[in-house]
Amino acid sequence: MPKITIDNKEIDFTQGQTIIQAAEAASIDIPHFCWHSALSVSGNCRVCLVEVEKMPKLVIACSTLATDGMVVSSQSEKTLSARSAVMEFILINHPLDCPICDEAGDCKLQNYTYKHSNGESRFIESKNSKDKRVALGPNVMFDGERCISCSRCIRFCDEIVGEKQLTFVKRGDRVTISTFPGKELDNDYSMNVIDICPVGALTSRDFRFTSRVWEMSSTKSICSGCSKGCNIDVWVRNNQILRLTPRQNDAVNNFWMCDEGRLNTFKHINADTRINGPQVRRDGALSKVTWDEAFSAAASELKAFSKDEIGFVGSPQATNEDNFLFSKFVKSNFGIKNLTFFKHIIPGTADSLLQKEDKSPNSFGAELAGIKPSKDGYDFASLLSAINSHKIKALYILEDSNILEIPEIESYLSKLDLLIVHSVNSSVLTQRANIVFPAASYAEKNGTWINCDGIIQRIRPAVTTQEIDRSLDGFSMSRLDKFGTEYDRWNQTAKVDARPSWKILCGLMTVFGQKQKFSIVEEVFSEMSNTIPSLNGIDYSSIGDLGIKVSLKSPIPATIEGKH
């Protein structure tokens, strides 16, 4: 391979790479604002100037191709002097908004000012004033004075989304960003411009002025909005989720996520509709009971029906571990003839970037974990018909709120003699239910999902319920290791009495006389990996932060279509 020397370090590079790409691959940091590895080169910020041996002038590392034998210095006296001058120029009209800017603490300009500026300005004239608090679209706010004209946002809309919605207007020090006449920044991925903006010029209208970045914890997880399984960071303060941001995974979502997933997949976790503790219907109304009472009631009610009269609905929203134990419970006590799940398909909602028509995060994993009927059993559509004809008199639903999208679902539910539900929030399902088990949300438990491309990925607890997740690799355990008494503090913050579905099922199976050996979720996954050929040899460590590909059959056909 050809070689290049950067800051006295000889490294290999691939023909066609620029200096900054070769440096990044070798973990050498060359400051930059306008360059982004997923976007075209614009070369307008000039912060990436470097000195190249035998070249008469400094060159910008983002657009200069690396050549074999090239010697580059990003730390020479000439380079540092030019970099400091560029930083001074960029800061001439930049306002001192750091005390109120959402980007403070996570701002490239702030960091580079500290590292590469001379610490003072010679500019004594009044700074230019530009428009502030400009709503570019329904989700993005623009502060023109903070913009350094890097053009990342413009290139993102043009190149990644394919919609020309932003452009530069005016010239010189009056240049600013604007939408084209008659348009607004309303594409399905508009909020990604907030993530790639190197300063605080573009901010989220949903998150604006909510919290400082250093006040929040971030936890690596997966978006639950569709079967793509975009990698995300969950940002939390005081045990409450405040925002989701995309996390880079080149095999899944690259740097991006859609606005739908960003805004609409976590607010139900903070909502007042959360179910707090198990409930059993008595005298026509749901009453809060202990877990043991709920387990006993569920076992007693289920045993009152023949196995052919009970339908079991797994969930593509639940984890593989939840579905695996649900399948095990059903198979060992009732057989799998009436075991199925609802695949929530919304035709016409897929795009060429990330969004999929399957609006569940784990359809592939649910089937792999055993949520499928026997050959003579019911698929979901025929299960509804059996409920309608009263052949199915009892129904057990595991964590699937998407069922509410089915037309006339209330009519089907009203024909049941028994309804048992695992649910995160109260809904029509829980209002009709005889027994309700409060389930931990995806942001409150450990587990795995398998996306539409067959990649198994981890979810982790970012917030906690009263039932603390004692996973070996979990949020609470890591805090226990570091702080000792952190369990107590987070348990006091948690208001919701809910458990992961796999743990609920362990309690129910014990009442059925099948005592389970699982105390942490890793043990459930270990049995899965030993039982399911596609998962043989896989554990949480090998899945890691970015997931791994597993062997899957062809995509599962839709059983019934939902409405958006």
DSSP for residue 66 = P
**245 has pLDDT over 90:** yes
**561 has pLDDT over 50:** no
Most confident by average pLDDT, 64-78, 331-345, 470-484: 64-78
CA–CA separation, 248 and 212 (whole Å): 22
Q: What share of the chain is helix, strand, coil (3-state, %, to 5)?
A: 30, 20, 50
Contacts of 518 (CB under 8 A, 6+ apart): 325, 502, 506, 524, 527
The string of pLDDT tens digits covering residues 490-548 is 444 567 899 999 999 999 999 999 888 899 999 999 999 999 999 999 999 999 999 99
CB 317 within 8 A of CB 360: yes
The string of pLDDT tens digits covering residues 11-54 is 999 999 999 999 999 999 999 999 999 999 999 999 999 999 99
The lowest-confidence range among 270-274, 326-330, 373-377, 440-444 is 373-377
Kindly report the pTM of this predicted structure.
Answer: 0.90
As a whole number, mean pLDDT of residues 461-472 equals 78
**87 has pLDDT over 90:** yes
Most confident by average pLDDT, 191-195, 307-311, 478-482: 191-195
Nearest to 97 by CA among 130, 135, 48: 130
CA–CA separation, 227 and 456 (whole Å): 11
Percentage of the chain beyond pLDDT 70 is: 93
Contacts of 435 (CB under 8 A, 6+ apart): 278, 279, 280, 281, 294, 297, 298, 301, 419, 420, 421
CA–CA separation, 359 and 228 (whole Å): 9
What are 460's two structure tokens?
């982790």
CB atoms within 10 A of CB 104: 15
> Which pLDDT value is given to residue 423?
95
As a whole number, mean pLDDT of residues 308-329 equals 94
As a whole number, mean pLDDT of residues 319-324 equals 96
The string of pLDDT tens digits covering residues 404-437 is 888 888 889 999 999 999 999 999 899 999 999 9
Contacts of 51 (CB under 8 A, 6+ apart): 58, 72, 73, 74, 76, 78, 79
Which residue bears the tokens 């490294």? 11
Q: Distances in Å between the alpha carbon of 530 and those of 40, 334, 370, 471, 523?
A: 46, 23, 14, 19, 11
CA–CA separation, 93 and 173 (whole Å): 8
Place 473 in a pLDDT band, splitting at 50, 70 and 90. Answer: low
CB 244 within 8 A of CB 223: yes
CA–CA separation, 157 and 138 (whole Å): 15
The string of pLDDT tens digits covering residues 339-354 is 999 888 999 999 999 9
The phi-psi region of residue 137 (left if phi > 0; otherwise alpha if psi is between -120 and 50; otherwise beta) is: beta
**485 has pLDDT over 90:** no
Query: Domains along the chain?
Result: 3-91 (3.10.20.740), 97-109+121-212 (3.30.70.20), 279-549 (3.40.50.740)
**553 has pLDDT over 70:** no
The string of pLDDT tens digits covering residues 435-453 is 999 999 999 999 999 999 9
As a whole number, mean pLDDT of residues 177-199 equals 95
Place 554 in a pLDDT band, splitting at 50, 70 and 90. Answer: very low
